[in-house]
Structure 1
Amino acid sequence: MMKILATAASLGAMMSATPAFAEQGDWLLRVRAINVAPSETSSSILPAFPGERVSVDNSIMPEVDITYMATDNIGFELIAATTQHTVSGRSGTTGAIGELADTWVLPPTLTAQYHFVPDGKIRPYVGAGINYTLFYEEDASNGLVDAVGATNVDLDDSFGFALQAGVDIELNERFFLNFDIKYLDIDTTATLNTTAAGTQRVNVSLDPVVVGVGLGIKL
């Protein structure tokens, strides 16, 4: 009986001494495939097309992020990815044109995370933070140019909040699977300076849901 108790005590001591997978001071690098799905709402295209709104398509791209563990439970993650999206008319004249423009989107996002079980093989976390979204290489579609002449497209950059939830699943001492979902608050105004229709503007709340799956490594 004493031997059993001694063995149990020894095992308990070993388990309590097991270090967290991600400890204070560690860096975690993840590479994900992400699907960026805007849940957009838009104003009318004004002044020429009242009642006509736009839609924005999904985009699947790679993403890289890095997390610094400030404590065993609290980490700070910086996400870097860029995606390309098409803006299309939904009804009326612009709906008949279809694709109006395309743009690249770069939304660097910083979140503070809480990791619930840092010493477990399955480690869920939640996070909240901020994103600053840049739009670049905006181009009018051929269909829009054919309809209203040469067109310059410009989308305003955006600053908003970010929410996050995910889980890391340990594969071995260094590698882990990752599943992650984010909500990004992104609002922009698109300005179209056209030859035939003058200057048109449309306000768009993109507010995408970003779902990712990938592989991580403890550096």
Structure 2
Amino acid sequence: MKKSVPGTAVSAAALVLGMQAASAADVHAPGNAAPFAVTQAPSPWQVRVRALGVVPRDKGHVSLPTGRIAGSDMEFSSTVVPELDISYFFTDNLAAELVLGTTYSHIGGEGSFLKGAGLGKLGKTWLLPPTLTAQYHFTNFGAFKPYIGAGVNYTIFYNEKGNGHSLASGSRISSLHIKDTFGGAVQVGFDYMFDQHWGFNMDVKKLFLQPKYNARLNDTTRVHGKAKLDPWLIGVGITYRF
């Protein structure tokens, strides 16, 4: 009995050491999963893809060489287009966003005199309105991440076309040109993040955009004025944070 006690102690010690070695091997074996997920710091880069509704304000005026036409006004068509934006986060709260996309608009004159003179449809133009905003992101609402922003817009007008022949009077608009224009921008929106990378986004921007334009009526009479577009940009889409 006295000899069996040391043997039992040695066996027990060997068993404990063996279990510890097996546990260490399990922890360090390359094929085994980590005991918990490791969350990395997010990348400063983020992109969004949205469906964007462009809703301009129907306001402006039309002038002839003799002066502004009394009661003249303008109307512009609304559109829905795809849009991409790229954001860079300087901190968790401060970011810059660049919005890229293009859209088109039909331009018309409002008022009985304009329509009777063949100016009910002035023409059509494409717009490229890159917009850069500085944003503040609120981070104390969990997965819901609202933000506000303000910045500058520069709109490039291209592929401008006059209306051709008017059915009402046979008049036509030619040589339509709209001046590229700077404008201000404000925004409010939110991301709802499903995980560290993917989320849902909704964003509303207001651009302050009032370009000047000029054209020719029947190739002879100069028509000009200011188009007070001031569009709302309403976007819904997907966010990806790298």
Q: TM-score range by the shorter chain?
A: 0.7 to 0.9
How many pairs align?
200
Q: Do the aligned residues in 2 keep the contact of 1:126 with 1:164 (CA within 8 Å)?
A: yes
- Of 75, 83, 87, 1:67 maps to 87
Q: Which runs of 5+ in 1 are unaligned?
A: 1-16
CA–CA distance in structure 1, aligned partners of residues 39 and 135 of structure 2: 22
Normalised by the size of structure 1, how large is the TM-score? Answer: 0.83
Q: CA RMSD in A?
A: 2.3
Question: Structure 2 vs 1, CA of residues 167 and 19 (structure 1 numbering), >3 Å: closer, same or farther?
Answer: farther
Secondary structure of residue in 2 paired with 1:147: coil
1:30 aligns with 2:30: no
Q: Do the aligned residues in 1 keep the contact of 2:146 with 2:189 (CA within 8 Å)?
A: yes
1:117 aligns with 2:135: no
Query: Which residue of the partner structure matches residue 210 of structure 1?
Result: 233
1:39 aligns with 2:39: no
Normalised by the size of structure 2, how large is the TM-score? Answer: 0.76
Q: Which runs of 5+ in 2 are unaligned?
A: 1-37
Query: Which residue of the partner structure matches residue 58 of structure 1?
Result: 78
Query: Which residue of the partner structure matches residue 7 of structure 1?
Result: none
Higher relative contact order (CA 8 A, sep 6+): 1
Structure (1 or 2) with the larger CA radius of gyration: 2
Q: Do the aligned residues in 1 keep the contact of 2:173 with 2:215 (CA within 8 Å)?
A: no
Q: Do the aligned residues in 2 keep the contact of 1:165 with 1:181 (CA within 8 Å)?
A: yes
CA–CA distance in structure 2, aligned partners of residues 167 and 19 of structure 1: 22
Identical positions, percent: 34
List aligned pairs for 1:67-146, cutoff 5 A. Answer: 67-96=87-116, 97=118, 98-117=120-139, 120-144=142-166
- Code of the residue aligned with 1:151 in structure 2: it is S
Query: Which residue of the partner structure matches residue 5 of structure 1?
Result: none
CA–CA distance in structure 2, aligned partners of residues 157 and 201 of structure 1: 15
